[in-house]
A and B are shown apart, each in its own frame.
Chain A
C-alpha cells in the first residue's frame, strides 16, 4: 500500500505539473483540493483519466471523483479495492 501511495504522489506531481512540490511534501492525509494541494475541477478530470488509464477504473460522474480524490490515503484505498489493472 505504501508503494501505491508513493506511486500516486509521483504521478500526481507529474500529471498535474506541480513543479514546486515533491513527493516528500505530500502527507498521506493532506487534502488534495482546496486548502491542501489546491487542486481544482480540471485537475479532478485529469485524475479521472489517470484512474482509467493506469488502474482500469472508469468514473462516469465527475462528482464521484471529488470524494475519491480527498487525499492520497482515500485514493489509494479506493484504487486498491477497485483496480482492474
Chain B
C-alpha cells in the first residue's frame, strides 16, 4: 500500500484569474474578482454581487476548440479548461502510461442549460442535445473525454459546498489503496439562476462585497470557478522523477447532523472534520501553520466555523483567512479552488489577507489575518463546509 499522495499539477479558472499564475498574482496583489453580474440576466442583478469569469460560453468553447454542435454546459467548459491546465502542469503527455482516474465535483452540473431551455426542449429539437447534459455526471464525462481518460474510474461527488474537498479526499484514498496510480481531482460550478435564486430564498446573499468573519457580515457572494489537481502515487513520482508541489497529508469528513441547511452553532461537524484530518495526517494542531477557512461570510457559517477553530486549536490557532472575498463562494468548486490557494501558500511562504474585514465579531476573540504576510509554511489546513451538515477538512504539506 502506498503512503504518500503527491500533488504534481494544478489548474484553475476563477473570477480572479484564468491560470494558476494569474490567481496567485491577484491573491498577493489583493485584487478582488467581485462585481455586478454580466453574463446572466437576472432580476436580482442590482441586489447581488458575484465572482464571475469574464468569458462567454462561446469564448470558452473556442478555447477548447469544440465544434458548434457540442452540448457542453458552462460547468463542463470551465472544468475541462482547469483540468487540462492541471495535466499540462504535471507534464503528462500520455495519460495511458499509468492507470488514471477522474473524481470531479459539481452541484450545478448542467443546470445552466436546463434553466435556459426547460420549456424550449418540448418544442425545439436542436436544443434537445442539452437534455443529456443535465445530470451532474455529464460534466465529468466530458472532462474525462477532454483529458483522454478511457476505460477508467470516472465519478462525481456532490455534497454541496464541500464537494471538491471530498473529491480530493476520495482521490487520495484511491491512491493510498492502490486502486489508481494517478487521479485528477477537483470541481467545477458555473453561476446559474438556479443557485442565485436558491441562495436568495435563504436570504444569505450579500448586496455588497462579502466580508468573512466580520461582525457586520451580510452574507455571501456567489462565484463560479473550476480547479483540478493531479494526484500521483509514490511509485509514479519515483519512476517519473516528478517534481512534487505538495502532498495531501490529511483529510476528514463529518456531518453536523443538526439541520438541513444551517451549521450547528458550536461547530460540531467542522470540529470533527478537522480532528479527523489531523489524525490521518499524524499532526497536532500546533503543526498547522495557516488555516484557509471556509469563511463564506454568512452569519451562520463564520460563527460555527470560528467556534470549531477555537475548539480544535485553542491557544495554538495559527493565522487564518478566508479567500471568499476574492472569488466569491464557488460552491462545489470551492474546496479545489482553496486547495490550489493552500498549495500556492506553501510554495511561496505566504498567507493571504482576509479582505474586507473591519469589525471584530462579538462572539469570540479570534481575528483573521488581514494583511499579506510572509511566513514559512510546512502545513496548511483548509476547511469546506456545506449544506446537509457536510463538513470537510484537507491538510496539505510540503513534505510527505
Contacts and interface: CB of A to CB of B under 8 A. Distances in A.
Note whether A and B contact each other (Cβ less than 8 A). yes
A49 B201 contact: yes
Contact of B262 (A41, A48, A49): A41
A48 B203 CA distance: 10
A77 to B, nearest CB: 23
Contacts of B259: 40-41
Chain A contact residues: helix, strand, loop or mixed: helix
Interface in B95-144: none
A45 B260 contact: no
Nearest to A44: B203
A59 to B, nearest CB: 9
Contacts of A48: 203
> Which 10 residue pairs are nearest across A and B when measured between Cβ atoms?
A62-B203, A45-B203, A45-B201, A41-B262, A45-B202, A42-B260, A42-B261, A49-B201, A48-B203, A40-B259
B203 to A, nearest CB: 5
13 contacts: A40-B259, A41-B259, A41-B261, A41-B262, A42-B260, A42-B261, A45-B201, A45-B202, A45-B203, A48-B203, A49-B201, A61-B203, A62-B203
Contacts of B203: 45, 48, 61-62
Contacts of B202: 45
Nearest to B300: A41
Interface residues of B, number: 7
Contacts, number: 13
Interface in B226-261: 259-261
Contacts of B261: 41-42
Interface string A18-54: 0000000000000000000000111001001100000
B94 to A, nearest CB: 51
Nearest to B260: A42
Interface in B193-237: 201-203
A41 B261 CA distance: 10
A61 B203 CA distance: 8
A42 B260 CA distance: 9
Interface string B319-346: 0000000000000000000000000000
B332 to A, nearest CB: 22
Contacts of B262: 41
A53 to B, nearest CB: 12
A62 B201 CA distance: 10
A82 B259 CA distance: 32
Nearest to A61: B203
A45 B203 CA distance: 8
A69 to B, nearest CB: 14
A73 B118 CA distance: 42
A42 B262 CA distance: 9
A61 to B, nearest CB: 8
Contacts of B201: 45, 49
B173 to A, nearest CB: 34
A42 B387 CA distance: 13
A62 B202 CA distance: 9
A34 to B, nearest CB: 14
Contacts of A61: 203
Contacts of A49: 201
B339 to A, nearest CB: 31
A33 B262 CA distance: 16
A33 to B, nearest CB: 14
Nearest to B202: A45
A47 B264 CA distance: 23
B388 to A, nearest CB: 13
Contacts of A45: 201-203
Contacts of A62: 203
Nearest to B262: A41
B208 to A, nearest CB: 13
Contacts of A42: 260-261
A61 B262 CA distance: 16
Nearest to B201: A45
A41 B203 CA distance: 11
B44 to A, nearest CB: 13
The winner among B202, B203, B259, B261 for most chain A CB atoms within 10 A is: B203
A78 B33 CA distance: 41
A47 B260 CA distance: 17
Contacts of B260: 42
B196 to A, nearest CB: 16
